[in-house]
């Protein structure tokens, strides 16, 4: 006799656990199934994000930046430090502690909301029956939120020691002397930056020539320049021919325009994308189809072909971002309850936690040009911002794109300090239908980094105060 | 139970209208047929009556907004016992919690900073602007759109719309055109640029008609219940002349000339909103009494703004009278797609030569403007001469001379 629920959620990552909490808030009898365990083999809800993704990487980014500051940047402040040493074990332990605090937090939230947490790997059978280990549970509604895992590069198998994925990249017990990162996306850049700061000699390989194609290209250009100056050796157009491990060291052979190359490194991080976790997840007679890349097909409300079965987060279309999964989870919970809910997939903010940070929301210049939309640009450099100068972080800029006729803000792009925070202000403004003039008329506190948003808005209106801008050519 | 109040159906030629005035507000108790709002189109102003007794629950369209035929303007709810004649804000709040799209003109919509600046600088009325932001808030782009589409009605006493600017010592007053005036202006220009309009003049001795009138006035009124004026004589004369000169009763359609086998005569009447031309259908078959009565009715209803669009569509020839204002002579403009118009003027006593003698006669100058593309000079002149002759000797109509 299976226990019956209103909703069963398979997966307790940012999509699953948020959906579970929302369902419970709406009075639905909810079960959440998850099989993540931590180092002590205890259940660890929070999915990839909390366990091996967003959170641990941000902890390592923060720690590595502190190390970099201590080594190279304190002297300018008149703070003389000698004998700065890296204790990697402590750094990793701190990261694990942060992860543990948050995963315990998620477990506590689920319990407080009276969600039935079932530890194990769920499998969806026919008729909305979910099998977990030897048990089955059944529900009126099922939400699939099983997330994604790192993709493998064809012919380059992970061995967990020398050739690792993003998870392994957070666990090196010593700083690799030479490190190769295959894949120059968000994850590759963040992890490559971490180990470079901790002392590795890092080079990165990308098969195509486009750098951060989803980002606004003028921002991407600034980023590439900044990373190169930091010593991140980014090599584009590199086609991997062979990877082998010989006596604990990895040998990479690749071809590019210059010819054939051979590199010997201590570790290789492969970060070439992620694939949805749908293998062995759904029984053939459950009625849900999975496409050739493993994604579950859903409509704009995350409904699958079967009434009452939904899928959210990395297993469905759209950017693989935790906040997108969470909002989809909330939407589905509310739909199940019978309320109106929707998620706008067109204005999801994106952040890259490199140094400098990169963040954007809305459309890029290249997209607007392609769509034939007439727009005005306003920019402002952090070098002209008082707070940035005081912080000693003067690289980067912020850019606002506004519709030429209505002045509605269509996109905001930032590379610079605290971009991840400032982008939220832009997102709120865009959500309320703000024009750039609305932001120009809004008072910002001084001195803040956020003021750059204000100045960029003034720049769209051609009246920046803290920068001299050339007159816009009338088209 | 919620009842919809809809925009009345427009005829095919009318695309949309403007909701110019709300006579009621949310919470008012109304009776069936009570007029709730006015909708103005190119030709007329419609009144929107309440379909039944009720209390106004929500108003969905703001004053100044464009509306389509059949669109929902408002909803009525059943009157609850004890709330008669009292506005009921509680009901309004319940409804707006459920209906996410409703914008009442009770609550002031949020206006973003840039929108507010534009509204202040251009002295606009925020209540006239449709807000498309979250929760109905008014965005900068809504103000921009409003300025572009604006065919704001300028109410006679609205200080917010009229701007008195003082430039030096001289005042200027800027008043946006009403929709009706704009449309009239468009049609006039269209007429002028499409047709080759010329005018031929003649004069008519009104004495015979006046004598006829004097002789039969009382008997006419007694029998037909309506006064005998001049217009019926003119209409009859016009119909006769049109029969003799069919090209004046025709219109151009593409490369064809369409000769109409009927006589729908438009009679220009003034109304508070501008000149309108209701049509006398098959005027040749109407009696003098019928013509008089119908024209009188047109005049009254034009003053009250109650002419229907059907009554003003069509027409094969028009008659206009500038004489009521004192005009002696004028060159009327043609009502497209017609090809001619008769202009009547003031009857003024003038010395005329008759049989070698100087006599005083009540004379009226007549003007016939015609579309030279299909009416040639000869036809136009002879047409007017025929009218003059028929009026100077009404027996000719009887004798078909």
* CATH of the structural domain B3-98, one choice from 2.40.50.100, 3.30.1300.10, 1.10.150.120, 3.40.50.300: 2.40.50.100
Q: How far is CA B7 from CA A204, B19, B51, B70, B74, in A?
A: 67, 9, 11, 5, 10
Look at residue A182 and tell me if it is in a domain: yes
Smallest CA–CA distance, residue A438 to chain B, in Å, is 5
Partnered with residue A252 across adjacent β-strands are A243, A263
ipTM reported for the complex, 2 dp: 0.73
In this predicted model, what pLDDT tens digit does every residue of B301-330 receive, in sequence order? 888 878 888 888 889 999 999 888 889 999
Look at residue A475 and tell me if it is in a domain: no
Query: Are the beta carbons of B140 and B147 closer than 8 angstroms?
Result: no
Question: Where along chain B do its domains lie?
Answer: 3-98, 113-176, 181-399
In this predicted model, what pLDDT tens digit does every residue of A273-301 receive, in sequence order? 999 999 999 999 999 989 999 999 999 99
Instruction: Judge: A435–B141 Cβ closer than 8 Å, yes or no.
Output: yes
How many domains is chain A built from? 3
Smallest CA–CA distance, residue B132 to chain A, in Å, is 9
Sheet holding B29-30, edge to edge: B3-6, B72-77, B54-59, B29-30
Query: Is B284 an annotated catalytic residue?
Result: no
> Of the given ranges (A256-270, A426-440, B24-38, B79-93), which has the lowest mean pLDDT?
B79-93
Q: Is the pLDDT of residue A48 over 90?
A: yes
Supply the CATH number for residue A253's domain: 3.50.50.60
Query: Is A403 an annotated catalytic residue?
Result: no
For A432, which of B117, B134, B141 is closest by C-beta distance? B134
What's the domain range around A382? 356-460
What is the model's pLDDT at position B3? Answer: 83
C-alpha B359: how far from chain center: 42
CA A69, CA B16: separation in Å to the nearest integer?
67
CA B202, CA A191: separation in Å to the nearest integer?
98
Query: Are the beta carbons of B371 and B195 closer than 8 angstroms?
Result: yes
What is the model's pLDDT at position A154? Answer: 87
Q: Which of A272, A288, A318 is the last residue of a domain?
A: A272
Sign of the C-alpha dihedral computed for residues B16, B18, B23 and B28 taken in this order:
positive
- A380 and A246, same structural domain? no
Smallest CA–CA distance, residue B148 to chain A, in Å, is 12
Q: Which of A239, A272, A305 is the last residue of a domain?
A: A272
Q: Which of B16, B105, B372, B393 is catalytic?
A: B372
Which band of pLDDT confidence, cut at 50, 70 and 90, is reported for residue B266? very high
In this predicted model, what pLDDT tens digit does every residue of A14-40 receive, in sequence order? 999 999 999 999 999 999 999 999 989
- A8 and A140, same structural domain? yes
Query: Which residue has better confidence, A90 or B325?
Result: A90
- A372 and A297, same structural domain? no
Instruction: Judge: A407–B140 Cβ closer than 8 Å, yes or no.
Output: yes
Q: Is the pLDDT of residue A167 over 70?
A: yes
- B98 near A CB under 8 A: no
The whole-chain average pLDDT of chain B stands at 83
Which band of pLDDT confidence, cut at 50, 70 and 90, is reported for residue B92? very low
Range B113-176 classified under CATH 2.40.160.40: no
What is the model's pLDDT at position B160? Answer: 44
Percentage of chain A beyond pLDDT 70 is 99
Q: Is the pLDDT of residue A63 over 90?
A: yes
For B140, which of A431, A438, A442 is closest by C-beta distance? A438
Chain A's closest residue to B143, CA to CA, is: A406
- A450 and A367, same structural domain? yes
- A90 and A74, same structural domain? yes
What is the model's pLDDT at position A17? Answer: 98
Which band of pLDDT confidence, cut at 50, 70 and 90, is reported for residue B168? low
> Of the given ranges (A31-45, A71-85, A255-269, B72-86), which has the lowest mean pLDDT?
B72-86
Q: Which of B23, B282, B297, B376 is catalytic?
A: B376
Label each residue of chain B as H, E or C: CCEEEECCCCCCCCCCEEEEEECCCCCCEECCCCEEEEEECCCCEEEEECCCCEEEEEECCCCCCEECCCCEEEEEECCCCCCCCCCCHHHHHHHHHHCCCCCCCCCCCCECHHHHHHHHHCCCCHHHCCCCCHHHCECHHHHHHHHHHCCCCCCCCCCCCCEEEEECCEEEEECCCCHHHHHHHHHHHHHHHHCCEEEEEEEEECHHHHHHHHHHHHHHHHHHCCCCCCHHHHHHHHHHHHHHCHHHHEEEECCEEEECCCCCEEECEEECCEEECCEECCHHHCCHHHHHHHHHHHHHHHHHCCCCCHHHCCCCEEEEECHHHCCCCCCCCCCCCCCEEEEECCCEEEEEEECCEEEEEEEEEEEEEEECCCCCHHHHHHHHHHHHHHHHCCHHHHHCC
Secondary structure (DSSP) of A294-356: SPBP--TT-B-SSTTEEE-GGGSSS---HHHHHHHHHHHHHHHHT------GGG--EEE-SSS
Residues of B whose CB is below 8 A from A435: 112, 114, 139-141
Instruction: Judge: B113–A438 Cβ closer than 8 Å, yes or no.
Output: yes
What is the model's pLDDT at position B32? Answer: 82
Question: What CATH code is assigned to B181-399?
Answer: 3.30.559.10
Instruction: Judge: A435–B134 Cβ closer than 8 Å, yes or no.
Output: no
Chain A's closest residue to B113, CA to CA, is: A438
Query: Which residue has better confidence, A339 or A422?
Result: A422
Q: Is the pLDDT of residue B88 over 50?
A: no
- Give whichever of A235-244, B90-99, B305-314 has the largest mean pLDDT: A235-244
Look at residue A470 and tell me if it is in a domain: no
Look at residue A101 and tell me if it is in a domain: yes
């Amino acid at each position: 006799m299976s226990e019956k629920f209103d909703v069963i959620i398979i997966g307790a990552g940012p999509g699953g656990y948020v959906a579970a909490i929302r369902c419970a808030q709406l009075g639905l009898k909810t079960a959440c199934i998850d099989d993540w365990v931590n180092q002590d083999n205890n259940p660890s809800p929070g999915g990839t994000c909390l366990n091996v993704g967003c959170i641990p990487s941000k902890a390592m980014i923060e720690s590595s930046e502190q190390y970099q500051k201590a080594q190279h940047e304190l002297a300018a402040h008149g703070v003389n430090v000698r004998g700065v040493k890296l204790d990697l074990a402590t750094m990793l332990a701190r990261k694990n502690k942060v992860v543990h605090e948050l995963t315990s937090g998620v477990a506590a939230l689920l319990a407080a909301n009276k969600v039935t947490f079932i530890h194990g790997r769920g499998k969806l059978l026919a008729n909305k029956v979910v099998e977990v280990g030897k048990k089955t549970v059944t529900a009126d509604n099922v939400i699939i939120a099983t997330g994604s895992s790192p993709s493998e590069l064809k012919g380059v198998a992970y061995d967990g020691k020398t050739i690792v994925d993003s998870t392994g990249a957070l666990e090196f017990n010593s700083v690799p002397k030479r490190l190769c990162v295959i894949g120059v996306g968000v994850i590759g850049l963040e992890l490559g930056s971490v180990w470079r700061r901790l002392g590795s000699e890092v080079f990165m390989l990308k098969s195509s020539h486009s750098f951060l194609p989803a980002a606004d290209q003028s921002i991407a250009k600034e980023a590439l320049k900044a990373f190169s100056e930091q010593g991140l050796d980014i090599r584009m157009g590199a086609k991997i021919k062979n990877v082998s491990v010989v006596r604990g060291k990895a040998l990479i052979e690749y071809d590019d325009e210059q010819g054939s190359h051979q590199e010997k490194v201590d570790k290789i991080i492969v970060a070439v994308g992620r694939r949805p976790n749908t293998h062995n997840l759904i029984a053939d007679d459950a009625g849900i189809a999975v496409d050739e890349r493993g994604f579950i097909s859903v409509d704009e409300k995350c409904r699958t072909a079967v009434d009452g079965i939904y899928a959210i987060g990395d297993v469905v279309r759209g950017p693989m971002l935790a906040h997108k999964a969470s909002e989809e989870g909330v939407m589905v919970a509310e739909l199940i309850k019978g309320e109106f809910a929707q998620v706008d997939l067109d204005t999801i903010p994106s952040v890259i936690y490199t140094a400098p940070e990169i963040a954007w929301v809305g459309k890029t210049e290249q997209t607007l040009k392609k769509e034939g939309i007439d727009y005005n640009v306003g920019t402002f450099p952090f070098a002209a911002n008082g707070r940035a100068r005081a912080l000693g972080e003067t690289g980067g800029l912020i850019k606002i794109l506004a519709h030429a006729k209505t002045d509605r803000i269509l996109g905001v792009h930032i590379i610079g300090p605290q971009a991840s925070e400032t982008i939220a202000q832009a997102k709120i403004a865009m959500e309320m239908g703000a024009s750039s003039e609305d932001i120009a008329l809004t008072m910002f506190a001084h001195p803040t980094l956020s003021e750059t948003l204000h100045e960029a808005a003034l720049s769209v209106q051609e009246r920046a105060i803290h920068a001299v801008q050339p007159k816009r050519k009338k088209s | 139970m919620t009842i919809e109040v809809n925009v009345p159906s427009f005829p095919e030629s009318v695309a949309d209208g403007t909701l110019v005035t709300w006579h009621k507000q949310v919470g008012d108790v109304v009776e069936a047929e009570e007029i709730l709002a006015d909708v103005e189109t190119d030709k007329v102003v419609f009144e929107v009556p309440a379909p039944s007794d009720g209390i106004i629950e929500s108003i969905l369209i703001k004053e100044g907004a464009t509306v389509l035929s059949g669109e929902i303007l408002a909803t009525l709810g059943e009157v609850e016992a004890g709330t008669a004649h009292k506005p009921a804000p509680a009901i309004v709040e319940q409804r707006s919690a459920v209906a996410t799209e409703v914008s009442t003109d009770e609550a002031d919509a949020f206006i973003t900073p840039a929108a507010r600046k534009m509204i202040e600088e251009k002295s606009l009325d925020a209540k006239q602007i449709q807000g498309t932001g979250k929760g109905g808030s008014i965005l900068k782009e809504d103000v921009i759109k409003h300025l572009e589409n604006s065919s704001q009605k300028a109410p006679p006493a609205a200080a917010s719309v009229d701007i008195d600017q003082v430039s030096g010592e001289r005042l200027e007053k800027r008043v946006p055109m009403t929709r009706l005036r704009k449309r009239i202006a468009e049609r006039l220009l269209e007429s002028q640029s499409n047709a080759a309009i010329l005018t031929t003049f003649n004069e008519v001795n009104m004495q015979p008609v006046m004598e006829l009138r004097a002789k039969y006035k009382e008997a006419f009124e007694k029998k037909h219940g309506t006064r005998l004026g001049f217009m019926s004589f003119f209409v009859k004369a016009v119909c006769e002349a049109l029969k003799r000169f069919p090209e004046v009763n025709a219109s151009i359609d593409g490369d064809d000339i369409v000769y109409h086998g009927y006589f729908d005569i438009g009679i220009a009447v003034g109304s508070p909103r501008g000149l309108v031309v209701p049509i006398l259908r098959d005027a040749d078959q109407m009696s003098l009494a019928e013509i008089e009565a119908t024209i009188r009715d047109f005049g009254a209803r034009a003053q009250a703004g109650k002419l229907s669009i059907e009554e003003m569509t069509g027409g094969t020839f028009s008659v206009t009278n500038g004489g009521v204002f004192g005009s002696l002579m004028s060159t009327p403009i043609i009502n497209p797609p017609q090809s001619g118009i008769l202009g009547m003027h003031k009857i003024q006593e003038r010395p005329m030569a008759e049989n070698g003698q100087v006599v005083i006669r009540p004379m009226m100058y007549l003007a016939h403007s015609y579309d030279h593309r299909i009416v040639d000079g000869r036809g136009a002149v002879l047409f007017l001469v025929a009218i003059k002759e028929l009026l100077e000797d009404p027996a000719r109509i009887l004798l078909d001379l």
